Amino acid sequence: MRGFPLGGERNHRTGESESKTHEEPKSETKKLKNLSEYAQTLQLAWNGLLVLKNSCFPTSMHILEGDLGVINGLLKDHSSGGKLTQLKIAQRLRLDQPKLDEVTRRIKQGSPNGYAVLLATQSAPAGAGAEGTFPVVEPGLQRRLLRNLVSYLKQKQAAGVISLPVGGAKGRDSTGMLYAFPPCEFSQQYLQSALRTLGKLEEEHMVIVIVKDTA
Protein backbone atom coordinates (compact mmCIF):
# COMPACT_ATOMS: atom_id res chain seq x y z
CA MET A 1 0.00 0.00 0.00
CA ARG A 2 2.75 2.44 0.95
CA GLY A 3 4.68 1.82 -2.25
CA PHE A 4 2.76 4.29 -4.43
CA PRO A 5 3.22 7.62 -2.63
CA LEU A 6 6.84 6.74 -1.88
CA GLY A 7 7.75 6.94 -5.58
CA GLY A 8 6.79 10.59 -5.73
CA GLU A 9 8.66 11.34 -2.54
CA ARG A 10 11.74 9.60 -3.81
CA ASN A 11 11.79 11.70 -7.01
CA HIS A 12 11.45 14.77 -4.91
CA ARG A 13 14.33 13.69 -2.68
CA THR A 14 16.51 12.76 -5.63
CA GLY A 15 16.26 16.33 -6.82
CA GLU A 16 17.45 17.50 -3.43
CA SER A 17 20.36 15.07 -3.25
CA GLU A 18 21.46 15.97 -6.78
CA SER A 19 21.82 19.61 -5.86
CA LYS A 20 23.92 18.56 -2.86
CA THR A 21 26.15 16.42 -5.07
CA HIS A 22 27.22 19.47 -7.06
CA GLU A 23 28.55 21.00 -3.87
CA GLU A 24 30.64 17.87 -3.23
CA PRO A 25 32.41 17.00 -6.48
CA LYS A 26 34.22 14.07 -4.81
CA SER A 27 31.05 11.98 -4.57
CA GLU A 28 30.23 12.71 -8.20
CA THR A 29 33.49 11.29 -9.52
CA LYS A 30 33.03 7.84 -7.99
CA LYS A 31 29.64 6.31 -7.39
CA LEU A 32 29.77 3.26 -5.13
CA LYS A 33 28.95 0.22 -7.25
CA ASN A 34 28.86 -2.63 -4.72
CA LEU A 35 29.05 -3.57 -1.07
CA SER A 36 32.84 -4.04 -1.13
CA GLU A 37 33.25 -0.44 -2.28
CA TYR A 38 30.75 0.72 0.35
CA ALA A 39 32.74 -1.19 3.00
CA GLN A 40 35.85 0.80 2.01
CA THR A 41 34.10 3.97 3.20
CA LEU A 42 33.82 2.45 6.70
CA GLN A 43 36.60 1.95 9.25
CA LEU A 44 38.42 -1.38 8.87
CA ALA A 45 38.19 -3.23 12.18
CA TRP A 46 39.54 -6.70 11.34
CA ASN A 47 41.16 -8.53 8.48
CA GLY A 48 41.74 -12.27 8.72
CA LEU A 49 40.38 -15.77 8.22
CA LEU A 50 37.02 -17.09 9.35
CA VAL A 51 37.38 -20.87 9.74
CA LEU A 52 34.65 -23.51 9.50
CA LYS A 53 35.67 -27.18 9.63
CA ASN A 54 38.48 -27.59 7.05
CA SER A 55 37.80 -24.38 5.13
CA CYS A 56 39.01 -20.85 5.73
CA PHE A 57 37.46 -17.71 4.29
CA PRO A 58 39.52 -14.50 3.90
CA THR A 59 37.33 -11.79 5.41
CA SER A 60 37.43 -8.06 6.06
CA MET A 61 35.19 -6.59 8.75
CA HIS A 62 34.29 -2.90 8.72
CA ILE A 63 32.51 -1.26 11.63
CA LEU A 64 28.86 -0.24 11.11
CA GLU A 65 28.09 0.83 14.68
CA GLY A 66 29.22 0.30 18.25
CA ASP A 67 32.58 0.51 19.95
CA LEU A 68 35.93 -0.32 18.34
CA GLY A 69 37.33 -0.99 21.83
CA VAL A 70 35.11 -4.09 22.14
CA ILE A 71 36.64 -5.50 18.94
CA ASN A 72 40.20 -4.70 19.98
CA GLY A 73 39.62 -6.17 23.45
CA LEU A 74 37.83 -9.39 22.50
CA LEU A 75 39.79 -10.17 19.31
CA LYS A 76 43.17 -9.87 20.98
CA ASP A 77 45.81 -12.54 20.43
CA HIS A 78 47.28 -13.07 23.91
CA SER A 79 50.43 -14.74 22.63
CA SER A 80 51.45 -11.89 20.29
CA GLY A 81 49.60 -8.96 21.86
CA GLY A 82 48.19 -8.06 18.43
CA LYS A 83 44.83 -8.93 16.88
CA LEU A 84 43.82 -12.51 16.13
CA THR A 85 44.13 -13.39 12.47
CA GLN A 86 41.91 -16.46 12.62
CA LEU A 87 38.44 -17.00 14.09
CA LYS A 88 36.98 -20.50 14.18
CA ILE A 89 33.21 -20.95 14.03
CA ALA A 90 32.44 -23.81 16.40
CA GLN A 91 28.70 -23.37 17.02
CA ARG A 92 25.56 -22.34 15.20
CA LEU A 93 22.57 -20.29 16.32
CA ARG A 94 19.28 -21.00 14.54
CA LEU A 95 17.64 -17.90 13.12
CA ASP A 96 14.51 -18.34 15.26
CA GLN A 97 12.79 -15.24 16.61
CA PRO A 98 13.39 -16.05 20.32
CA LYS A 99 17.13 -16.51 19.63
CA LEU A 100 17.28 -13.27 17.62
CA ASP A 101 15.41 -11.45 20.38
CA GLU A 102 18.09 -12.65 22.81
CA VAL A 103 20.86 -11.22 20.59
CA THR A 104 18.96 -7.91 20.33
CA ARG A 105 18.58 -7.87 24.12
CA ARG A 106 22.32 -8.41 24.56
CA ILE A 107 23.09 -5.57 22.11
CA LYS A 108 20.77 -3.21 24.02
CA GLN A 109 22.28 -4.33 27.31
CA GLY A 110 25.76 -3.68 25.94
CA SER A 111 25.00 -0.22 24.53
CA PRO A 112 26.71 2.12 24.03
CA ASN A 113 30.20 0.67 24.44
CA GLY A 114 29.77 -3.05 25.06
CA TYR A 115 28.97 -4.13 21.52
CA ALA A 116 29.93 -3.69 17.87
CA VAL A 117 28.20 -4.44 14.57
CA LEU A 118 30.38 -5.05 11.52
CA LEU A 119 29.97 -5.63 7.82
CA ALA A 120 31.97 -8.68 6.65
CA THR A 121 32.94 -8.91 2.98
CA GLN A 122 35.36 -10.95 0.89
CA SER A 123 38.87 -9.81 1.75
CA ALA A 124 41.21 -8.38 -0.85
CA PRO A 125 44.13 -10.58 -1.99
CA ALA A 126 47.29 -10.80 0.11
CA GLY A 127 49.03 -7.54 0.77
CA ALA A 128 46.16 -5.41 -0.48
CA GLY A 129 44.48 -4.94 2.91
CA ALA A 130 45.03 -1.81 4.95
CA GLU A 131 46.57 -3.93 7.71
CA GLY A 132 49.45 -5.27 5.63
CA THR A 133 50.01 -8.80 4.45
CA PHE A 134 47.38 -11.48 4.76
CA PRO A 135 47.58 -14.22 7.42
CA VAL A 136 49.16 -17.50 6.38
CA VAL A 137 46.72 -20.37 5.92
CA GLU A 138 47.40 -23.29 8.24
CA PRO A 139 48.24 -26.66 6.65
CA GLY A 140 45.08 -28.73 6.13
CA LEU A 141 42.84 -25.68 5.65
CA GLN A 142 41.41 -24.98 2.22
CA ARG A 143 41.09 -21.29 1.27
CA ARG A 144 37.62 -20.55 -0.12
CA LEU A 145 35.55 -17.50 -1.00
CA LEU A 146 33.38 -15.95 1.71
CA ARG A 147 30.26 -16.55 -0.41
CA ASN A 148 30.65 -20.31 0.28
CA LEU A 149 30.38 -19.68 4.03
CA VAL A 150 27.38 -17.38 3.46
CA SER A 151 25.64 -20.08 1.37
CA TYR A 152 26.31 -22.69 4.06
CA LEU A 153 24.81 -20.55 6.84
CA LYS A 154 21.83 -19.60 4.66
CA GLN A 155 21.20 -23.26 3.92
CA LYS A 156 21.37 -24.11 7.63
CA GLN A 157 19.23 -21.02 8.46
CA ALA A 158 21.72 -20.21 11.17
CA ALA A 159 24.33 -17.73 12.31
CA GLY A 160 27.87 -18.82 13.12
CA VAL A 161 28.85 -18.38 16.78
CA ILE A 162 32.31 -17.91 18.32
CA SER A 163 33.00 -17.61 22.08
CA LEU A 164 35.48 -14.83 22.88
CA PRO A 165 38.24 -14.47 23.73
CA VAL A 166 39.53 -17.39 21.67
CA GLY A 167 41.20 -19.93 23.99
CA GLY A 168 39.19 -18.78 27.01
CA ALA A 169 39.48 -15.81 29.35
CA LYS A 170 42.58 -15.25 31.44
CA GLY A 171 42.24 -13.41 34.74
CA ARG A 172 40.35 -10.15 34.34
CA ASP A 173 39.77 -10.47 30.59
CA SER A 174 36.39 -9.51 29.22
CA THR A 175 34.37 -12.31 27.68
CA GLY A 176 31.76 -12.16 24.96
CA MET A 177 30.26 -13.69 21.85
CA LEU A 178 30.60 -13.16 18.12
CA TYR A 179 27.59 -13.90 15.89
CA ALA A 180 28.06 -14.10 12.10
CA PHE A 181 24.73 -13.56 10.33
CA PRO A 182 24.12 -14.40 6.68
CA PRO A 183 21.76 -11.99 4.84
CA CYS A 184 18.43 -12.20 6.68
CA GLU A 185 15.80 -9.84 8.05
CA PHE A 186 17.76 -9.43 11.29
CA SER A 187 21.03 -8.47 9.57
CA GLN A 188 19.44 -6.12 7.04
CA GLN A 189 18.33 -3.72 9.78
CA TYR A 190 22.01 -2.73 10.17
CA LEU A 191 22.48 -2.15 6.43
CA GLN A 192 19.79 0.46 5.77
CA SER A 193 22.40 3.12 4.99
CA ALA A 194 24.17 0.79 2.51
CA LEU A 195 20.84 -0.05 0.93
CA ARG A 196 20.01 3.63 0.47
CA THR A 197 23.44 4.25 -1.07
CA LEU A 198 23.54 1.26 -3.41
CA GLY A 199 19.86 0.63 -4.11
CA LYS A 200 20.29 -3.14 -3.67
CA LEU A 201 22.68 -5.48 -1.85
CA GLU A 202 23.58 -8.14 -4.39
CA GLU A 203 27.02 -9.09 -3.16
CA GLU A 204 27.37 -11.93 -0.65
CA HIS A 205 28.15 -10.56 2.80
CA MET A 206 27.57 -11.12 6.50
CA VAL A 207 26.73 -8.90 9.43
CA ILE A 208 28.89 -9.64 12.47
CA VAL A 209 27.63 -8.80 15.95
CA ILE A 210 30.12 -8.82 18.84
CA VAL A 211 28.74 -8.41 22.35
CA LYS A 212 30.67 -8.20 25.58
CA ASP A 213 29.27 -10.18 28.50
CA THR A 214 27.88 -7.89 31.18
CA ALA A 215 29.18 -8.47 34.68
Q: Which residues pair with 212 in a beta bridge?
A: 176
Angle at 63 between CA 143 and CA 46, to 5 degrees: 35
Nearest to 43 by CA among 166, 132, 131, 124: 131
User: What's the mean per-residue pLDDT of the chain?
Assistant: 82
Domains detected in the chain: 35-124+139-212 (2.40.290.10)
Q: Is the pLDDT assigned to residue 132 strictly greater than 50? A: no
The 10s digit of each residue's pLDDT in 23-54 is: 443 443 368 888 889 999 999 999 999 999 99
Single pTM value for the model: 0.80
Largest CA distance in the chain: 59
Angle at 5 between CA 3 and CA 6, to 5 degrees: 60
C-alpha–C-alpha distance, residues 118 and 53, integer Å: 23
HSE value, Cβ hemisphere, 13 Å, CA-based, for 83: 19
C-alpha–C-alpha distance, residues 32 and 11, integer Å: 20
Nearest to 214 by CA among 114, 71, 118: 114
Q: How confident is the model at residue 208 (pLDDT cuts 50, 70, 90)?
A: very high
Q: Is the pLDDT assigned to residue 7 strictly greater than 80? A: no
Query: Which amino acid makes up residue 123?
Result: S
